[in-house]
Each structure stands twice: as C-alpha cells, then as structure tokens.
Amino acid sequence: MPLGLHAGDDVIVRASVQPEEAWQGQRVQLTVVVLGKDSWAQIPNMPALKVGGAYVLPPESQGVRAQEQIDGVSYTGQRYELSVYPQVGGEIVIPETSLQVSLSSFGSGSAAQEKQEKLPEIRFRSKVPPGAEGVDWLVSTTDFKAEQTWSSEAKALKVGESLKRTIRISASDVSGMAFKPIEYPAIEGLGVYPAEAVVRDKRDRGTLSGERQEEVTYIFEGAGEVVIPDIELVWWNVQEQKLESVPLAGRKVTVSGGSPVGYREAEESGVSGRGGWWLLALVGVILGMGVWRREWISAWLEERKVEREQSEKAYFKRFEQASRSGDVAATQRAVMAWLDRVSDGSQVARLDVFLKRYGDGGRDVTQLWGHTEELYAVVSEARKVWASQRHRRERAERLLPPLNS
C-alpha cells in the first residue's frame, strides 16, 4: 500500500517503500509511480534524492509502463524502482522532492506537456544490528560471498616484480554499486595500485543480485620481507540474524635482488574510513551509464567526496603527511587543524590537554614541536585511545534509549 500520495487534476504521484522496517545496510525498495489522466505520464529526469542517514541509487531503467482505472477514468504512466540503503539507525526520511513530469496525449501529434509535481515525503525505520555499532557502510543481506585469487603463489619474488590480487564480492538483493570499496593500506616500500572496479547487477524475475570485482597490484620496491595484510569483510545475515565476516588471507613474501627496504606493516588507526582513490575507480562505471544516471551518481559522489575531505581521518592524514615532510610549521598547522576538528567546541583545542587526557601527559609539548616524526608518533598513540573511548561512548549512547523506554 502506498505510504505517500500526491494528486493533481491531471497527474497522480505515488511513493511507497518495502520493507517499512529494515536493517542498516539492507536494501529498501522505493517505488515511485506517476500517472496521467487520459495521457501517458513519465519522469524524464529523476532528481537525485538527498536522504539523511542513507544513500540512494537511481532506477536501473527508465521505468516500466503502469496503467490504472481510478473512478472510471483511465490513468497511464511509468513505475520506477530505486534502491535506498540506510547507514544509521532510527527513522529515515525521504523528503518531499520536486519532480518534472512529462505528459503525452494519446493520438495527438502535439509536443509533450511539462508539469511540476511533488514526490511526497515518505519514512521508514532502520535498525542497527547488534555488534555492528560503528561499522561503516554495512551490507545486510541473506547471502554474501567473497573470494580472492592471486596472480602467483610464489613466496619469493625479486625487486621490481609484481603480484596481482583479485577480489570478487557478491550478494543477493544488493546492487554492485552498494558494496564499499576495499581499502588497501599503504606499506612502506610496497607500491599499491588499485585498478578500476568492475560492477555488475543481475535481475531475474524480480530478484536482484550484485557483484563487485576489484584488482590491486603490489610492486616490490626493495629487498626484505613484506606482509600483505589480511582483509576482513563484515556483513549482517538478515536470515540468521547475526553478524558474520569473510576473511581473505594476506601473503608473506620474501623479496631479493635489490637494496634493502624496511617494509613496515600498515598501522591500525582505530578509526574507520578510507581515502578518496575509490572515487576514480567508479569513473568507468559512471561513464558507461546514461546521462541522467551519471548526473545523479556524480552528485552523490561529490557529496561523499566533500564528506571525506572534512572527515577526521582526512585531517589526520594531512597531519601525517606534513610530519613526514619534516616541515615544522606545516606540521604544527596540520596537527592544530586536526585538533580543532575533533574538539567538541566547549574549549579551545590544546595539544597538551589532549595528550594529558589520552596519551603521554608527561611529555613536554614544547620539545615535541621541533621533531615532526616524534610528534606524529606520540599523537598517533593518543589518537588510538581517543578513538577507542569515543567508540565505547557512542555505543553506550545507542544503548541508552531502549533501556530508558
């Protein structure tokens, strides 16, 4: 039954969602139906829907024909199916949105009439799975698979040689565009080059299955022993009602034939997120779509890019880069910008106060200022404690409402 309805003299616009209560990361189908009185109605350009706490993927096609008899009057138009993926718990609101509707009269050679209508506001509820608090870009489905292959099983390689890792992810009732791009941590001495991802969707008799294939090439730049990290993909099993993970084992490779390099494993930051490289990986997918879908997804990607540039992790990454450059002034500016980003605004951000609370409070901050790499190491350790405490606090806040209800 439609949860929203807007009717005009000549046009009817309906919207409904299914299911009306979903798990975080579960696909919610938003169905939009537009009907014209004694004419054929369609939406030539579906607008990009901005939904707080969720992301929306556009229709897979220009819609399917719809026809109804309402009070003895014939209405004809199109039905569109969009995918909404909630990323937070609580009520998700799809706001009222302006639509441009095209009306074509049957048997008339006249040009189509354009009308401005409204997609009605519609709401549904999202639940955070137990144990998934803080998980970014969760996928909730009944069937999730992930596998990987390597271009070589060799345990010993030479400097300048490469190793390709191919990862395939698939799931039921999930679009391939909905999978979170995999993060490949930087490792000193190891070139890490992700390729464009290949995304596929398959529809069969009303069912949807999506697939994402990623390839990353590792190039060994010096002699030594390098550990390519494991990858763990977490998902919520809707049918079994439990959080599951699929581990993809990394590799340990001995590299010879060149100058030694201190291969250093990627450090755990304690903060979820990723860099912006994956935006480029989606370019090939976007270019292969129609103009109307490219505009939609491009707008969504631009919003995600801005969010990442302003994220805590992005600020800290800029601090890390400045510290490695050895530029004292740039490092000081970057660390203070990061402190301002994580500050709650109740008082002026101060590094000595932050370190006293979360790190080595006995260190003289004035002595750290001139040693950029040491400053980064000290702040990085304190950041891990800060992130852990923040995660526990946020989890407790999510649990309080049910306990007090």
Over residues 379-394, the pLDDT tens digits come to 888 888 888 887 777 6
Please indicate, yes or no, whether residues 171 and 252 belong to a single structural domain of this protein.
yes
- Provide the 8-state DSSP code for 90: E
Contact between 192 and 218 under an 8 Å Cβ cutoff? The reply is yes
- So what's the pLDDT on residue 381? 87
Q: Model's pTM, two decimal places? A: 0.59
Q: Which of 104, 127, 150 is the last residue of a domain?
A: 127
pLDDT score of 44 more than 80: yes
Please indicate, yes or no, whether residues 99 and 152 belong to a single structural domain of this protein.
no
In a domain, 297, yes or no: no
Please indicate, yes or no, whether residues 251 and 320 belong to a single structural domain of this protein.
no
- So what's the pLDDT on residue 322? 86
**Higher per-residue pLDDT: 130 or 326:** 130
- So what's the pLDDT on residue 19? 94
Bridge-based pairing of strands 122-127 and 21-23 is parallel
Q: Which of 77, 104, 127 is the last residue of a domain?
A: 127
**Higher per-residue pLDDT: 56 or 110:** 56
In a domain, 66, yes or no: yes
What is the CATH classification number for the domain harbouring 184? 2.60.40
pLDDT per position as a tens digit, 128-158: 999 888 787 899 999 999 999 999 999 999 9
Measure the N-to-C terminal CA separation of the chain; round to a whole number of Å.
Answer: 30
Contact between 21 and 28 under an 8 Å Cβ cutoff? The reply is no
In a domain, 281, yes or no: no
In a domain, 154, yes or no: yes
Owning domain of residue 26 = 4-127
Please indicate, yes or no, whether residues 259 and 338 belong to a single structural domain of this protein.
no
Confidence of residue 303 (pLDDT cuts 50, 70, 90): low
In a domain, 385, yes or no: yes
Mean pLDDT calculated for residue range 190-195: 88
pLDDT per position as a tens digit, 48-72: 888 888 888 888 777 889 999 888 8
Please indicate, yes or no, whether residues 167 and 259 belong to a single structural domain of this protein.
yes
Closest CA to 146 of 182, 194, 118, 192: 182
The beta-carbon contacts of 359-364 under 8 Å, at least 24 apart in sequence, are 359/385
Which tokens belong to 405?
A: 């209800």
Which tokens belong to 215?
A: 């390839």
- Each residue of 383-400: b (16+ CB within 10 Å) or e? bbebbeeeeeeeeeeeee
Most confidently predicted of 4-13, 165-174, 384-393: 165-174
Please indicate, yes or no, whether residues 167 and 266 belong to a single structural domain of this protein.
yes
| Chain centroid to CA 246 | 19
In a domain, 277, yes or no: no
Please indicate, yes or no, whether residues 15 and 115 belong to a single structural domain of this protein.
yes
Please indicate, yes or no, whether residues 178 and 112 belong to a single structural domain of this protein.
no
Angle at 259 between CA 256 and CA 260, to 5 degrees: 75
- So what's the pLDDT on residue 8? 46
Please indicate, yes or no, whether residues 219 and 263 belong to a single structural domain of this protein.
yes
In a domain, 296, yes or no: no
Mean pLDDT calculated for residue range 23-36: 94
When divided into structural domains, the chain yields a total of 3
Please indicate, yes or no, whether residues 67 and 174 belong to a single structural domain of this protein.
no
Q: Which of 93, 127, 161 is the last residue of a domain?
A: 127
Please indicate, yes or no, whether residues 156 and 198 belong to a single structural domain of this protein.
yes
Confidence of residue 282 (pLDDT cuts 50, 70, 90): very low
In a domain, 308, yes or no: no
Please indicate, yes or no, whether residues 145 and 179 belong to a single structural domain of this protein.
yes
Considering the chain, what is the average pLDDT of its residues?
81
